């Protein structure tokens, strides 16, 4: 098929999947995968083959950069005790477990090891797409694990492909590959992030800032690939660093534009990838002889079960070396491990690894077992998505993990902190920017109103939590509440409106709906000193100064670890919107 036809087909498939998913109450990626499988029954559509370079160079950099951008650096630092073994030792254990199963069922050892390397790492984009129901801390730990485990998988893949092609590996070569993959990838990401920082701090145009941001993941991936390091890790490091420094080197308008465009672009790439995975599975199935499909299907199911068991057992064996959360019980830790096991989805990275296996050796002979590698890998991806995906919400409800209100509490804390700091600095800011007392006092009143609103929301949320806990306690004791508490107040709402222009009157004295007219005129206005235009300019300067002060306090809270990165980013987005409204969209986009 032609490129335009493929583009239209993918667009229509994503549109249908996006419309159907909410009605079917199924995650959109699962619907898109099923659509891709269904389209694969059409012979002409099976000709759409997914080149590995497309996944590695077009899909992965953008999607991984966005996932790294939306990952909490504080959570990564605090979860290193979990992330390091899960992204290294677990990947190795999973790969060799799958390789052992494949070898036992008749797959050559070298090809079986390639299969193990391909399916070992959970995929960050799949976890992000299907794991939204997870508690915040569990979700962030899984994302961090999925973003960092690809380096180990790619080293295993390089070793396995070398053996598959008849090469030799030594302990020294393996050590070199590991160091180059991790250290080289990290160095490439850090270097590109540093260059981006130096460039962005000199830019003010929204267009140039966002174009530079778009280049960061591709340049990071390219630089890592040039030195044979992990391009995935390079993108992850660059994304984490640029996300941390971006509030200081980008503008409010550029951040709002990026927040509006990046999610949509990533959604398009992610959706297209799930449809293409379905088509790729059908292509592989129809290229393999029917006599082999039965055994390969059994190997696929056995590999999937092995991954499931190894992930759970690994978490259980390493639990003595982890630091359990305060107040957690053995039963709760068991349920958490099971939730984490079910949430280990495979996706784009696994498919890219499988498709990257060479078709022929250096001598021109076909590579033995390549079809098996692609078939089993694609089958494991489908099983994790179509079985574990719908199963995860059920397991989460069964696990009854405790509510995680830390993000809400930190958000309320930060709102009160930045509002209080702005009020405390109001007098100094007014003097610094030459603001009149009248404008300053009005800003103080507005600030106190916002602070009171933030406090009221915190109190209301705390009351709701206490009422919920009381209701749960009564339910556990087998009793029910006799009455429900009434909300404070009489439930009435009042509103005030500003002055309404009076209607005009016709020649007979009847009032008519007049046009726009001045309704208040005073002879004692000092037009040259304190006219409405002057007060408006003063109010604008003061609001911008207050917003700068709030950002300064917000970033300090983030730097000290008082609030999470994602909480700070959410509040920063609100401040950016307020700045754009204050400046006007034309001036904000300059």
- For the cut 50, the answer to whether the pLDDT of residue 192 exceeds it is yes
- Which CATH number fits the domain that encloses residue 217? 1.20.1530.20
Task: Read off the pLDDT of each residue in 226-235 and give the average, rounded to a whole number.
Answer: 87
Alpha carbon distance 564, 336 (integer Å) = 22
The mean of the pLDDT values for the chain is 80
Alpha carbon distance 436, 449 (integer Å) = 20
Give the end of a domain, one of 371, 399, 427: 399
- For the cut 80, the answer to whether the pLDDT of residue 359 exceeds it is no
Alpha carbon distance 584, 568 (integer Å) = 24
**Cβ atoms of 122 and 344 closer than 8 Å:** yes
- Please write the tens of the pLDDT for every residue from 455-506: 777 788 778 777 777 777 777 666 444 444 444 444 444 443 344 344 444 4
Q: Kindly indicate the confidence band of residue 3, based on its pLDDT and cuts at 50, 70 and 90.
A: low
Task: Indicate whether 491 belongs to any domain.
Answer: no
Q: Are residues 257 and 341 in the same domain?
A: yes
Q: How many domains does the chain have?
A: 2
- Please write the tens of the pLDDT for every residue from 293-322: 888 889 999 999 999 999 999 988 877 656
Predicted pLDDT at 311: 92
**Cβ atoms of 230 and 58 closer than 8 Å:** no
Q: Are residues 442 and 336 in the same domain?
A: no
The residue behind tokens 């100064």 is: 545
Phi-psi region of 344 (alpha: psi -120 to 50; beta: other; left: phi over 0): beta
Burial class of 310 by CB neighbour count within 10 A (0 to 12, 13 to 18, 19+) = buried
Task: Indicate whether 484 belongs to any domain.
Answer: no
Alpha carbon distance 273, 372 (integer Å) = 21
Predicted pLDDT at 531: 65
| Per-residue 3-state assignment (H helix, E strand, C coil) for 385-451 | HHHHHHHHHHHHHHHCCCCCCHHHHHHHHHHHHHHHHHHHCHHHHHHHCCCCHHHHHHHHHHHHHHH
| Per-residue 3-state assignment (H helix, E strand, C coil) for 285-337 | HHHCCHHHHHHHHHHHHHHHHHHHHHHHHHHHHHHHHCCCCCCCCHHHHHHHH
Predicted pLDDT at 516: 37
- For the cut 70, the answer to whether the pLDDT of residue 188 exceeds it is yes
Q: Are residues 375 and 426 in the same domain?
A: no
Q: Are residues 303 and 428 in the same domain?
A: no
Hey, is 512 helix, strand or coil?
strand
Predicted pLDDT at 134: 80
Task: Indicate whether 139 belongs to any domain.
Answer: yes
Q: Kindly indicate the confidence band of residue 427, based on its pLDDT and cuts at 50, 70 and 90.
A: confident
Q: Kindly indicate the confidence band of residue 397, based on its pLDDT and cuts at 50, 70 and 90.
A: confident
Q: Are residues 351 and 429 in the same domain?
A: no
Q: Are residues 363 and 423 in the same domain?
A: no
- For the cut 60, the answer to whether the pLDDT of residue 390 exceeds it is yes
Q: Are residues 306 and 438 in the same domain?
A: no
- For the cut 90, the answer to whether the pLDDT of residue 187 exceeds it is yes
Contacting residues for 583 by C-beta, under 8 A, at least 6 apart? 540, 544
- Please write the tens of the pLDDT for every residue from 563-575: 888 889 999 999 9
Task: Indicate whether 55 belongs to any domain.
Answer: yes
Predicted pLDDT at 523: 47
Predicted pLDDT at 432: 85
Predicted pLDDT at 305: 93
Predicted pLDDT at 374: 84
Task: Indicate whether 494 belongs to any domain.
Answer: no
Predicted pLDDT at 50: 65
Predicted pLDDT at 410: 87
- For the cut 70, the answer to whether the pLDDT of residue 444 exceeds it is yes
Predicted pLDDT at 142: 85
Identify the CA nearest to 338 among candidates 356, 319, 312, 318: 312
Q: Are residues 421 and 287 in the same domain?
A: no
Q: Are residues 98 and 239 in the same domain?
A: yes
Q: Are residues 348 and 392 in the same domain?
A: yes
Q: What share of the chain is helix, strand, coil (3-state, %, to 5)?
A: 75, 0, 25
- For the cut 90, the answer to whether the pLDDT of residue 280 exceeds it is no
Q: Are residues 354 and 459 in the same domain?
A: no
Alpha carbon distance 535, 541 (integer Å) = 10
Domain, as residue range, for 441: 405-474+530-590
Q: Are residues 217 and 260 in the same domain?
A: yes
Q: Which of 299-303, 347-351, 378-382, 532-536 has the lowest mean pLDDT?
A: 532-536
Predicted pLDDT at 362: 65
Question: What percent of the chain is modeled with pLDDT above 90?
Answer: 14
Task: Tell me the pTM.
Answer: 0.79
Give the end of a domain, one of 399, 424, 450: 399
Task: Indicate whether 525 belongs to any domain.
Answer: no
Predicted pLDDT at 220: 93
What are φ and ψ of residue 502, in 5° steps? -70, 150
**Cβ atoms of 361 and 367 closer than 8 Å:** yes
Task: Indicate whether 480 belongs to any domain.
Answer: no
Alpha carbon distance 77, 81 (integer Å) = 9
Predicted pLDDT at 217: 93
pLDDT: is 302 or 129 the higher one? Answer: 302
Give the end of a domain, one of 367, 399, 431: 399
- Please write the tens of the pLDDT for every residue from 44-96: 776 776 666 666 677 788 888 888 888 888 888 888 888 888 888 899 999 99
Which of 236-245, 326-335, 474-483, 515-524 tops mean pLDDT? 236-245
Predicted pLDDT at 489: 45
The residue behind tokens 């079960």 is: 305
Q: Which of 115-119, 301-305, 385-389, 498-502 has the lowest mean pLDDT?
A: 498-502
Predicted pLDDT at 53: 67
Angle at 160 (CA atoms; ends 155, 162), nearest 5 degrees? 95
Task: Indicate whether 326 belongs to any domain.
Answer: no
């Amino acid at each position: 098929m032609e490129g335009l036809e493929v583009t239209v087909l993918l667009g229509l498939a994503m549109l249908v999947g996006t419309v159907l998913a909410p009605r079917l109450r199924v995650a959109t990626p699962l619907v898109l995968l099923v659509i891709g499988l269904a389209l694969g029954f059409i012979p002409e559509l099976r000709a759409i083959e997914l080149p590995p370079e497309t996944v590695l160079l077009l899909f992965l950099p953008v999607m991984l950069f966005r996932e790294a951008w939306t990952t909490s650096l504080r959570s990564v630092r605090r979860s290193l005790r979990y992330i390091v073994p899960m992204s290294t030792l677990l990947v190795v254990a999973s790969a060799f477990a799958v390789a052992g199963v494949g070898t036992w069922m008749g797959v050559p050892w070298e090809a079986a090891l390639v299969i193990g390397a391909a399916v070992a790492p959970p995929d960050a984009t799949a976890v992000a797409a299907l794991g939204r129901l997870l508690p915040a801390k569990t979700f962030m730990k899984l994302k961090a694990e999925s973003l960092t485990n690809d380096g180990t998988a790619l080293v295993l893949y390089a070793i396995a492909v070398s053996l598959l092609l008849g090469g030799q590996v030594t302990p020294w070569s393996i050590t070199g590959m590991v160091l180059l993959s991790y250290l080289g990838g990290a160095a490439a990401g850090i270097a590109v992030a540093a260059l981006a920082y130096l460039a962005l701090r000199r830019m003010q145009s929204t267009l140039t800032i966002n174009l530079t941001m778009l280049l960061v993941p591709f340049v990071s991936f390219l630089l890592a690939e040039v030195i044979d390091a992990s391009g995935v890790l390079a993108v992850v490091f660059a994304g984490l660093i640029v996300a941390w420094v971006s509030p200081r080197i980008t503008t409010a308008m550029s951040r709002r534009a990026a927040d509006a465009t990046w999610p949509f672009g990533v959604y398009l790439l992610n959706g297209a990838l799930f449809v293409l995975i379905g088509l790729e599975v059908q292509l592989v199935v129809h290229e393999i002889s029917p006599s082999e499909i039965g055994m390969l299907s059994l190997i696929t199911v056995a590999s999937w079960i092995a991954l499931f068991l190894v992930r759970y057992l690994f978490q259980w064996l390493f639990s003595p070396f982890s630091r359990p959360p305060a107040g957690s019980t053995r039963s709760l830790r068991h349920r958490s491990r099971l939730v984490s096991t079910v949430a280990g989805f495979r996706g784009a990275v696994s498919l890219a690894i499988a498709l990257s296996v060479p078709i022929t050796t250096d001598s021109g002979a076909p590579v033995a077992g390549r079809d098996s590698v692609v078939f089993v890998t694609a089958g494991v991806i489908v099983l994790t998505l179509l079985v574990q995906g719908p199963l995860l919400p059920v397991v989460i409800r069964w696990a009854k993990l405790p509510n995680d209100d830390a993000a809400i509490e930190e958000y309320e804390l930060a709102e009160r902190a930045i509002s209080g700091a702005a009020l405390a600095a109001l007098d100094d800011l007014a003097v610094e920017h030459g603001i009149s007392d009248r404008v300053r006092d009005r800003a103080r009143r507005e600030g106190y109103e916002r602070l009171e609103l933030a406090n009221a929301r915190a109190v209301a949320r705390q009351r709701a939590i206490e009422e919920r806990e009381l209701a749960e306690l009564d339910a556990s004791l087998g009793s029910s509440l006799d009455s429900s508490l009434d909300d404070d107040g009489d439930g009435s709402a009042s509103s005030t409106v500003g002055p309404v222009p009076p209607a005009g009157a016709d020649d007979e004295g009847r009032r008519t709906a007049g046009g726009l007219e001045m309704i208040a005129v005073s002879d004692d206005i000092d037009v040259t000193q304190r006219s409405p235009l002057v007060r408006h300019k003063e109010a604008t300067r003061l609001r911008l100064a207050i917003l700068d002060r709030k950002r300064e306090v917000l970033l300090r809270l983030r730097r000290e670890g008082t609030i999470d990165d994602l909480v700070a980013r959410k509040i920063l987005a609100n401040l950016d919107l307020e700045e754009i409204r204050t400046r006007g969209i034309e001036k904000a986009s300059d």
